[in-house]
Amino acid sequence: MPLDAIGIAGTALTVHRKWLDAVADNLSNINTATATTDDAFRARYVLAQAGGEDTGVYVAGTELGDAAGRVVHEPSHPLADENGNVRYPDIDYSEQMGSLIMAQRGYQANAAVVDRAKETYQAALQIGRN
């Protein structure tokens, strides 16, 4: 069943919202240390895919970042192992900031599509009005 412009934009708002949530989560955990016996905090990447037949976009899946992360020598850390090492996530701050900006712009652009679609609906409703 085909979607109208508002429906299509709606799917994109959902995807971009999930993207923003993932990036925000990645950024807030950029300094989360884990023991070397565990995985590092793994960054979340949202995979977007176009729906068929003008149905907008949807999240096809999520990719997780590197489990090994970066091993850092920090003996004072409570989670440090016998060698004084802890794991930090393999997350690049500037890359995440770049994603944040793109996700935000994308969200706003799709919100604007909804506004314009609303204008066409209002015009259509005026047809034949006295």
Partner 1 sequence: MFESVTSVALESALDGLALRQRAIANNIANVNTPGYQAERVSFEDTLAQSVRTGDGHATATTARSMEPTRLDGSNVNMDTETLSNIDTVLRYQFATQAASGTLNGIRTALRSN
Partner 2 sequence: MPAVIPPVMGVSPTTATGYASTTELPSTDGSQFATSLTGALENVQSLQSTSNDLSIQAVTGDLTDIHAATLASSRASIALEMASTFRNRGVEAFNEVMRMQA
Please give the residue ranges that form the binding site for partner 2 (CB under 8 A): 1-4, 121, 123-128
| Measured distance CA(51)–CA(36) in Å, rounded | 41
- Which residues contribute to the site for partner 1 (CB under 8 A)? 2-6, 8-9, 11-12, 15-16, 19, 48-50, 54-57, 102-103, 105-106, 109-110, 112-113, 116-117, 119-120, 123-124, 126-130
Q: Say if residues 25 and 44 touch (Cβ distance below 8 Å).
A: yes
C-beta closer to partner 1: residue 28 or 108: 108
Question: Tell me, what amino acid is at 125?
Answer: L
Q: How far is the CB of 95 from partner 2 (least distance, A)?
A: 38
Minimum CB–partner distance for residue 89 and partner 1 (Å) = 21
- Residue 10 or 45: the one with the smaller Cβ distance to partner 2 is 10
Contacting residues for 79 by C-beta, under 8 A, at least 6 apart? 33, 34, 35, 86
DSSP codes of every residue in 35-53:
-TTSPPPPPEEEEEEEPTT
